[in-house]
């Protein structure tokens, strides 16, 4: 049985393979939302990012699909990467998806489309090319001393 601390934790290390599948699902969902302007789907996107920031894949439908169905179906492929940069990237996604949701709710359609398009581009980079922009920024924030090394001693990405 999971404790509250187990539920509200982010995996470290995280599985890069699962993260890339989640990014692919985010790319598909954001594309559908841009095309349909569906507020319910936009809310689901926000929830997914919030769930991943708070719990990793534990309460995230996309995270669960990636970690419990897709990755196991592929033979449990694993590429461990540091968790804190991935959590930072999910937080950035939460900011973009929430901003887009509010813009859609306020009927600022062009701003909503631009915001979600930016999110889709970065989800595509993660999913297709394996480039995590949030992780890249995280490494610079560490180098500049804005994130203490104690947060993640194994996180530095060589750039």
- Cα–Cα distances (Å) from 125 to 51, 101, 121, 122, in that order, read 22, 22, 6, 5
The DSSP 8-state label assigned to residue 157 in this structure reads P
pLDDT at position 157, please? 44
Q: Pseudo-torsion of CA 123, 121, 86, 155, nearest 10°?
A: 130
**Cβ atoms within 10 Å of 17's Cβ, excluding its own:** 20
pLDDT at position 2, please? 61
At residue 130, does pLDDT exceed 90? yes
At residue 159, does pLDDT exceed 90? no
Model's pTM, two decimal places? 0.89
Residue 32 · residue 41 · CB < 8 Å: yes
**Chain position carrying tokens 């049985």:** 1
Residue 46 · residue 98 · CB < 8 Å: yes
Q: Give the mean model confidence (pLDDT) for residues 95-108.
A: 98
């Amino acid at each position: 049985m999971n404790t509250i601390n187990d539920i509200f934790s982010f995996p470290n290390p995280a599985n890069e393979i699962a993260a890339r599948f989640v990014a692919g699902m985010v790319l598909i969902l954001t594309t559908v939302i841009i095309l349909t302007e569906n507020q319910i789907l936009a809310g689901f996107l926000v929830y997914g990012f919030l769930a991943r920031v708070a719990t990793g894949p534990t309460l995230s439908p996309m995270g669960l699909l990636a970690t419990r169905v897709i990755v196991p179906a592929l033979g449990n492929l694993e590429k461990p990467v540091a968790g804190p940069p991935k959590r930072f990237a999910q937080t950035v996604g939460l900011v973009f998806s929430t901003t887009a949701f509010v813009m859609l709710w306020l009927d600022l359609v062009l701003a909503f489309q631009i915001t979600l398009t930016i999110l889709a581009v970065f989800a595509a980079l993660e999913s297709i090319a394996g480039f995590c922009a949030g992780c890249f920024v995280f490494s610079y924030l560490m180098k500049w001393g804005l994130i203490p090394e104690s947060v993640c001693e194994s996180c530095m990405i060589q750039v």
